[in-house]
Chain A
Amino acid sequence: MMDSAQPLDDRLLAERLRSGDREALGLLYDRYASVAMAVAVRVVADRQLAEDLVHDAYVAAWQKIDRFDPSRGSLRSWLLTIVRNRAIDRLRGTRPSMEVGEADEQSLLRTGPNPTWEAAAARRSAVELRQALESLPDEQRQAVELAYFGGRTYREIAQLTGVPQGTANGRLRLALAKLRDSLSMTDAAPLSVQAEPIRAEGMNQ
């Protein structure tokens, strides 16, 4: 059974942030700053720089909270995406996004990500999730880490690891499928899919 308390709290927290409640920003900080720091440090490997990135990400979240759509992911995921994207920008020396709230939103599809990943992340401890990641074959875990924490494409991963592009791509696919399956096996809510087209809503074509 999915734990509904945390998502509900986050939704209320988002509403308070939206109304300009600075105390809510403090609560958001207390709740996720250590995870945000972990992501930033993992990407840039510099604690001071990571603190600057986390600071800037929280300011951006405060200023762009109107861009947060709870139907497309949790507040935690939205915040961590901002932190991660900014850290990758810094790592790769790319120009920061000109519209923070827009550029940091995370969605390939209007229908949003599979929510059960977030449910698994919320319900399980970091230790359990880390164990799930560590249970992957080394080359698959390395591919995932290069993609997420290094901001690398599968082509770059292939070059960095000395394998064909198809192999690097296959490792990412296999790794996530294994994670999905391992989490599904022990979670009441399966990582199910909907048998419907993922065409964008309201398209005029």
Chain B
Amino acid sequence: MTRLRFECRDVDELAGALALGAVDADEARAAREHLETCRQPHAELRSLLGADAVVAAGLEPIEPSAALRDRLMRSVEAAPRSAAAAAEPVPATDPRARGWLDWLSPQVARPLALAAVAAVIAVGAWGVMLSGQLADRDRALRDVAAAISGGQAAFRVEGGGGRGYVVDTPGSGASFVVADLGSLPANRLYELWLIGPDGPVDVGTFRPGADAVAVVPVDRDLSGFTTFAVTVESQRVSAPTSKPVMAGAVGT
């Protein structure tokens, strides 16, 4: 299946739909990828972004029931914010931000790596499922499925966002295949990272397909990296701006 790519003209033609988020996931991704590198101003799109504020504000206000406010305040008293949620925001330009170090420390990464090896052996059925349902996706999918079902080395990446594997196949390069991906709004995407001693390195962005599966080529030498991670971003960025929704160790 051909990956949708946008030129300037495509973005301009869809300016209104993009501003209201009225595009499908592939179009949103294609637009975002185009805008990440385009040197053109795309003035019309820029001028229309934010129009939804006016659409919402034009509604006749509706007073909620008197009980709702008390219910809300009871809820937040019963479930106070975690210390992490109350922390200072993570600077987008600082790859060594506190949340990342906490999450990706060796103490966390090593148990993940050990768990990954065990999981690869235990999930042959998942590999078979991939082979049967998705074999025509591309060679990367077949490689990953074969590696998993055959007990070859694969690195598990998992978390609240989904579960997947990275397989480094000789001659084919590495691929990240992930299933059970949570859906995202049109203006969000997943970004895959490799973490090494110098911090996170961007690998690529992706969105789930209709079957909640995505395949991401990993066009990098994995040596020297210790951890894979996936974050949710508004566009492709050079340093993560949020905590990982999935993570796993590279090797053992």
**A and B together in one complex:** yes
Interface residues of A (CB under 8 A from B): 18-20, 22, 25-26, 29-30, 33-35, 37-39, 41-42, 47, 50-51, 54-55, 58-59, 62-67, 69, 73-74, 76-77, 80-81, 84-85, 94-95, 97-99, 101-118, 120-122, 124, 126, 129-130, 132-133, 144-145, 147-149, 152-155, 157, 169-177, 179-180, 183, 191-205
B61 lies within 8 A of A34 (CB): yes
B182 lies within 8 A of A198 (CB): no
Q: A126-B59, A198-B38 are known contacts. Are A176 and B68 too (CB-CB below 8 A)?
A: no
CA distance A65 to B87 in the complex (A): 10
Of B76-84, B119-127, B170-178, the one touching chain A: B76-84
Interface residues of B (CB under 8 A from A): 13-24, 28, 31-32, 35-65, 68-69, 71-73, 75-77, 79-82, 85-90, 92-93, 160-161, 182-185, 187-188, 202, 231-232, 234-239, 242-243, 245
| Residue from the list B23, B35, B85 in contact with A154, Cβ < 8 A | B23
Q: How many A-B residue pairs have CB under 8 A?
A: 293
Q: Which B residues are CB-close (under 8 A) to A38?
A: 56, 59-62
Closest to A180 in B: B47
A sample of 29 inter-chain contacts (CB < 8 A) reads A19-B86, A25-B73, A34-B61, A38-B59, A41-B62, A47-B62, A55-B68, A62-B81, A66-B86, A66-B89, A80-B53, A85-B185, A99-B161, A106-B52, A107-B187, A109-B46, A110-B237, A112-B50, A121-B53, A147-B21, A148-B20, A148-B52, A148-B55, A155-B24, A169-B17, A173-B44, A176-B15, A198-B45, A204-B202
| Residue from the list A18, A114, A198 in contact with B41, Cβ < 8 A | A198
Query: Does more than half of chain B's interface fall in helix, strand or loop, or is it mixed?
Result: loop
Q: Which A residues are CB-close (under 8 A) to B21?
A: 147
B24 lies within 8 A of A51 (CB): no
B48 lies within 8 A of A129 (CB): no
Q: A20-B86, A25-B73, A114-B50 are known contacts. Are A126 and B60 too (CB-CB below 8 A)?
A: yes
Q: A34-B63, A194-B46 are known contacts. Are A144 and B38 too (CB-CB below 8 A)?
A: no
